Amino acid sequence: FREDIRLFAGMGFGVYRFSIAWSRIFPHGNETEPNEKGLAFYDQVIDECLKYHIEPMITLSHYETPLYLAKKYNGFCSRETIEFFLHYCETVFRRYQGKVHLWLTFNEINSVLHHPLLSGGIWTQPDKLTATDKYQAIHHELVASAAATKLAHKIDPCNRVGCMIACLPKYPLTPAPADIILTMRETQAADLFSDVQVRGAYPAYFARILREEGASIHKETGDDEILLNTVDFVSLSYYMSSCVSADSAST
């Protein structure tokens, strides 16, 4: 990695975004004490970046929820996973305090809609995962993200925390109202994640999504207050744009 970072500096990079593997710090995810070798490795990466005046931007969870948490707790379907995640976050926030000031909570957090195991550590097979379970896991991830943001600001007021969204913009294939409405609904499914993390509350259309999918979520006392801890910035991974049509013959 040292040669790579040196080359980045030669290319004029001022920020390097990379991810810490949660399971490299807490192999099972629920340990009390972290893996020192894992922390020491990232010490070296961060120090090498700073050597070349490259600011590290670290993603806390990038598709590597510890497998043990997936199998034992069904990932973020379980409320307990929030606390395991926050313990991990606090560990790295304090370890790299003063060296790292840019953080992302979950990589492409909206991808849990389509990749529940990869994105949310959800062990339940997709064809058996109920809409209620899916949206409960989403709620837990959003609460975890907001709580981590609050914790980062508390530990170091200089910290800036962002959300990370997989960006695949959709446009109506035609001006037909049916195409426009379908585009709006498909867009809202992804916008839900940024709306909550930027505005600090669920948007009104979320109630319609739950109703149409026959789903519900359970909130613990204080969850709405936790969600008020909004991110400092939004980041996107843009893949492609596509057109949407309500006419199946056009797809």
Interval 112-141: pLDDT, tens: 999 999 999 999 999 999 999 999 999 999
Q: Which residues of 192-221 are buried (b: 16+ CB within 10 A; e: fewer)?
A: bbbbbbeebebeeebeebbeeeeeebeeee
The answer to whether residue 61 scores a pLDDT higher than 90 is yes
Is residue 166 classed as helix, strand or coil in its secondary structure? strand
User: What is the band of 250 on the pLDDT scale with cuts at 50, 70, 90?
Assistant: low
Alpha-carbon gap, residue 135 to 202, rounded angstroms: 12
Alpha-carbon gap, residue 143 to 133, rounded angstroms: 15
Alpha-carbon gap, residue 242 to 251, rounded angstroms: 11
Alpha-carbon gap, residue 154 to 6, rounded angstroms: 33
Answer whether 160's CB lies under 8 Å from 235's CB: no
Would you state the pLDDT for residue 190?
A: 86
Mean pLDDT of 175-190: 93
Answer whether 82's CB lies under 8 Å from 69's CB: no
**H-only helix segments in 59-159:** 67-73, 80-95, 116-120, 131-155
DSSP state of 165: E
Instruction: Give just the sign of the alpha carbon dihedral 213, 196, 55, 21.
Output: negative
Instruction: Give just the sign of the alpha carbon dihedral 146, 150, 152, 157.
Output: positive
Would you state the pLDDT for residue 149?
A: 98
Alpha-carbon gap, residue 63 to 107, rounded angstroms: 7
Alpha-carbon gap, residue 222 to 73, rounded angstroms: 22
Would you state the pLDDT for residue 189?
A: 87
